[in-house]
Amino acid sequence: MFDELTGRLGQVFRALRDRGKLTEDNIRESLREVRRALLEADVHFEVVRDFIRRVEAKAVGQDVLRSIQPGQQVIKIVHDELVALLGGETVELARAKTPPTVILLAGLQGSGKTTLAAKLARRAQKRGDRPLLVAADLVRPAAIDQLEVLGRECAVPVFARREVQDAVAVATEALRGAQGYDLVIIDSAGRLHVDAAMMAELRALKAAIKPAETLLVVDAMTGQDAVRTASTFDADLGIDGVALTKLDGDARGGAALSIRTVTGKPIKLASVGERIDALDVFHPERMASRILGMGDVVSLVEKAQEAFDEGEAEKLEAKLRKEGFGFDDFLSQLRQLRKLGPLEDMLKMLPGMGAIGDLKVDERALRQIEGMICAMTPEERRRPQIIDGSRRQRIARGSGTTVQDLNRLLKQFMQMRELMKRLGGGGRLGRVRMR
């Protein structure tokens, strides 16, 4: 996400930090590079112009030039202005005073509305709400089938009427039977481009169901086309906010950095992967930090808290104290870690890692580790110290690896277990564990 922009800005800021003193010419030269980087990232040219003007007004001053770390001061100014550009503060989805809350999803065909509907439903489930999905896209072939498949995947009911060809009739019937649900998500029809028929249907839907939230779904990878789409939908329909999809594939960032300024409407959600739970609330400050390669530790901690069970963590600590931590426990922890998403994405949330560039985790090595553990007997996983020469040969053959690979895993596991035992023995592990 935003790799190209992060890399370009990282080069500019490294040059700034390397200078002991800055002059107005130095700062203006750096801002010219920032301007070029933003334009190449497909940010709207008027947005770039106003952004650079605001940064320059604050950066070219005696307070910055005479400070102990002028480069860091300029970077902070850029960060603060990026936060403002992205919306300034987090804006949550609206909720109705009395349930159910109705959300109408609008957008062009291919923007990811149907998948986002299921992700929204899954997010609501995790918060303890009871969601209902409504298949009101009666134009795209197999749209109803896709929503039903996704509904089964996240165990959310889907309201559909295949014999009805009126989206308003489908949505109103769904709402009449929605007692007991906390959230109703309407998946509407899109087109390959904005047309009068689509807008007329959306206006009729909005008038009939009176949604608490009309959310425009746009593909972040389409850059300025996404911004133009958002402007058109807001003018013709009136939207409350934007959900950016495919943000993990957007190496430039033009849509995210332009939409709020151009439309005046907040980005509320960011879809960052194909998994059904890969949906985040859009936090401008966290996003600005990630764009500048400063990481996003808060989001990383939140993801970890969602994925790791506190009760299991307490059992793990007890095992460590009794020296009972085995390969079954290790494999369970490895699988929980992978629930957080691609490990490259997790690494980029750490400060400084985003600026490194192309971070790659060897998934083949992780699969090898899993294969070697699964090739062990239950007793070997519980007590790895019993794995002698003949057992090592058998495990290596069974997992398609070599004895050297297994020796390396056993050595690293023993070292890790010893370290964790030291942390747990003094009670420090419990204090480190996130609550």
Contact 34, 9 (CB under 8 A): yes
Residue 93 lies in a domain: no
Calculate the average pLDDT of the chain.
82
Same domain membership, residue 75 and residue 110: no
The answer to which of 282-286, 356-360, 391-395 has the lowest mean pLDDT is 356-360
Same domain membership, residue 305 and residue 170: no
Per-residue pLDDT tens digits for 197-236: 899 999 999 999 999 999 999 998 888 888 899 999 999 9
Say how many C-beta atoms besides its own lie within 10 A of residue 196's C-beta: 9
| pLDDT at residue 294 is higher than 70 | no
Residue 91 lies in a domain: no
Q: Is the dihedral of CA 229, 83, 12, 60 positive or negative?
A: positive
Concatenated DSSP letters of 256-322: HHHHHHHH---EEEEE-SSSTT-EEE--HHHHHHHHTT---HHHHHHHHHHHS-HHHHHHHHHHHHT
Residue 90 lies in a domain: no
Residue 21 lies in a domain: yes
Q: How far apart are CA 378 and CA 184, in angstroms?
A: 46
Same domain membership, residue 306 and residue 288: no
pLDDT at 289: 82
Residue 202 lies in a domain: yes
Q: How far apart are CA 371 and CA 408, in angstroms?
A: 14
Residue 284 lies in a domain: yes
Say how many C-beta atoms besides its own lie within 10 A of residue 360's C-beta: 8
Amino acid identity, residue 153?
A: E
Same domain membership, residue 337 and residue 368: yes
Q: How far apart are CA 278 and CA 340, in angstroms?
A: 9
Residue 229's domain comprises 101-294
- CATH number of 54's domain: 1.20.120.140
Q: How confident is the model at residue 119 (pLDDT cuts 50, 70, 90)?
A: very high
| pLDDT at residue 284 is higher than 80 | yes
Residue 45 lies in a domain: yes
Listed residue (307, 311, 299) closest to 333, CA to CA? 307
Q: Which of 21, 50, 85 is the last residue before a domain boundary?
A: 85
Same domain membership, residue 311 and residue 286: no
Same domain membership, residue 244 and residue 308: no
Q: Which of 266, 294, 322 is the last residue before a domain boundary?
A: 294
Q: How far apart are CA 351 and CA 331, in angstroms?
A: 27
Residue 68 lies in a domain: yes
Same domain membership, residue 311 and residue 290: no
- CATH number of 107's domain: 3.40.50.300
Same domain membership, residue 254 and residue 132: yes
91 CB contacts (<8 Å, ≥6 apart)?
Answer: 241, 266, 268, 282
Same domain membership, residue 381 and residue 242: no
| pLDDT at residue 68 is higher than 60 | no
Q: How confident is the model at residue 434 (pLDDT cuts 50, 70, 90)?
A: very low
Q: Which of 294, 322, 337 is the last residue before a domain boundary?
A: 294
Pairing between strand 241-245 and 183-188? unpaired
Count of structural domains within the chain: 3
| pLDDT at residue 393 is higher than 80 | yes
| pLDDT at residue 104 is higher than 90 | yes
pLDDT at 170: 95
Q: How confident is the model at residue 27 (pLDDT cuts 50, 70, 90)?
A: confident
Same domain membership, residue 357 and residue 285: no
Same domain membership, residue 249 and residue 308: no
Q: How confident is the model at residue 81 (pLDDT cuts 50, 70, 90)?
A: very high
Map 36-100 to HEC letters: HHHHHCCCCHHHHHHHHHHHHHHHCCHHHHCCCCHHHHHHHHHHHHHHHHCCCCCCCCCCCCCCC
Q: How confident is the model at residue 420 (pLDDT cuts 50, 70, 90)?
A: low
Same domain membership, residue 357 and residue 258: no
